[in-house]
Amino acid sequence: MIKKLHIDGFGKFAYKDVQLRSGINVIYGPNESGKTTIREFIFHMLFGLDKARGIAARSDAYTVYSPIYGGNYGGTMRLEIEQEEYVLQRKFRADERECIFFSEETNETKSLESVLGISESGYEDTFSIKSGDMIPSKQLAVDVTNYANNIFESGTTNIQVDKAVNYLKDKRRDKKRVLSEKEILLKNQRQRMTEPPKEEVKTVESYERTIIGLPFLLGAMVFLYLGISASYLLLIPGLFGAVIGSVLTLRKKKVVTYVTTTHDIKEELRKEYQKQKEIADQLSYDIRQINIAIDTILESANEIRNSFSGPLNMKVSEFIAEMTNGRYREIKIDESLSFMVKCNDRYIDMKYLSTGTIEQIYLAIRLAAGEILYPKAVVPILFDDIFGNFDEERMISTLEAVSKVTGKQVILFTCKESMLHSLNKLSQTVNWISVEESKNK
């Protein structure tokens, strides 16, 4: 529960205090009085505020809510969690960003993320709801489906069905690619194995020695010796004799041989083909097993989606029974978070319901999903002018139900004066906060 806000500087506010209580808090004022600014301050105090890059920085939340009238960009939030007081201090400015979260009693610093028990995106999908944004997001549908399937399959929430299926699909794609390559290789090898026998011809050149040139070599040696020792003129016939003797002594002879290797080639092809065939068969088997695994997971997922005993169905039914004073007691929700509601022993499709009833059920779905997915979340519920299609009776019963079922602090932002009179009919005390009367200090 948030007990107090102190805004050092955020948007149009500087040095502003806001006191909050448990139960229902209503922050009211005309358009552009600063209600949304306070809501954004609460949100970004809990989850931080970063500056975008490039062109997006011109209109991002960091730029929009930079202090206009001075003060340090940030503030302080005092919270009570499990009867212990905490202080959260933040500075948002990029060059001095800071987040300090500590116990006021012990001064012990703690991790804000672990204490909150919910992520920023999870908060936006469940407990933080803006005007015109009642329909659950696609990501919330995925998160709830994963949760329900995991409970059904294993009794835990540690396995994500969509990730498991995607992992198997990736493996299947890789194996199919390798199998396709093997099939092309096997086809080529089969063609080579069925070709008619061919005789492979090899031409071999060899050399043989003879004694025909031996006399020339001996004579050449004599002349070379005499030429060196007696007269250089004798070197010429000696060199000539050496050349003639060498040529006649080592005479080239061409020999043609025919070597038939067809049988050997066929045997090697057969062995390689068999090896690749075994690999291809194993790949085919693996792919079939992956298909079976995917089908089994999806069939199990479908069972839980269609089950009335699913945790989301039960939790939403609890909410809607309280919100409608028992008129609707049972909801059937599919994987896309579309629904049918039971009335007078039959199910009514959502297209036959009024806009107010549909938004009431969507609200129940988001809050129920938050309760299921984030059971340890200690954040407040933020409603920013969401009751535009609700009549007085529906609005009162909805707020009563939200406060009763969740037990969480509710902070409602509104600009509608008519709502202020209606909320006086709530069975519990409402903490009224006028944006205009709340003065800067």
Distance CA 127, CA 410 (A): 9
pLDDT at res. 441: 38
pLDDT category at 379 given cuts 50, 70, 90 is very high
The per-residue pLDDT for range 182-225, each reduced to its tens digit, is: 888 888 878 777 766 555 555 555 555 555 555 655 555 655 55
* Residue 153 pLDDT greater than 80, yes or no: no
State the sign of the Cα–Cα–Cα–Cα dihedral 230, 233, 237, 240: positive
Q: Which has the higher per-residue pLDDT, 416 or 220?
A: 416
pLDDT at res. 77: 96
pLDDT at res. 439: 45
% residues pLDDT > 90 (the chain):
25
pLDDT at res. 229: 60
Distances (CA, A) of 334 to 248, 314, 369: 100, 13, 13
pLDDT at res. 149: 63
- Classified as helix, coil or strand, 68 is coil
Residue of 416, 415, 381 whose CA lies nearest to 399: 381
Rounded mean pLDDT, 230-253: 56
The H-or-E segment that residue 346 falls in is strand 346-349
Distance CA 61, CA 300 (A): 42
Q: Which pairing describes strands 410-414 and 381-384: parallel, antiparallel, or unpaired?
A: parallel
pLDDT at res. 285: 87
Tokens at residue 431, please? 């903490």
pLDDT at res. 64: 92
Q: Which has the higher per-residue pLDDT, 392 or 297?
A: 392
* Residue 251 pLDDT greater than 70, yes or no: no
The per-residue pLDDT for range 21-56, each reduced to its tens digit, is: 999 999 998 888 899 999 999 999 999 998 888 777
Beta strands in 200-305 (DSSP E): 201-209, 250-258
* Residue 320 pLDDT greater than 50, yes or no: yes
Distance CA 373, CA 379 (A): 13
* Residue 440 pLDDT greater than 50, yes or no: no
pLDDT category at 166 given cuts 50, 70, 90 is confident
Rounded mean pLDDT, 368-391: 89
Q: What is the pTM of this model?
A: 0.64
* Residue 309 pLDDT greater than 50, yes or no: no
Please, how many CA atoms are within 13 Å of residue 66, restricted to the half-sphere of its CB?
11
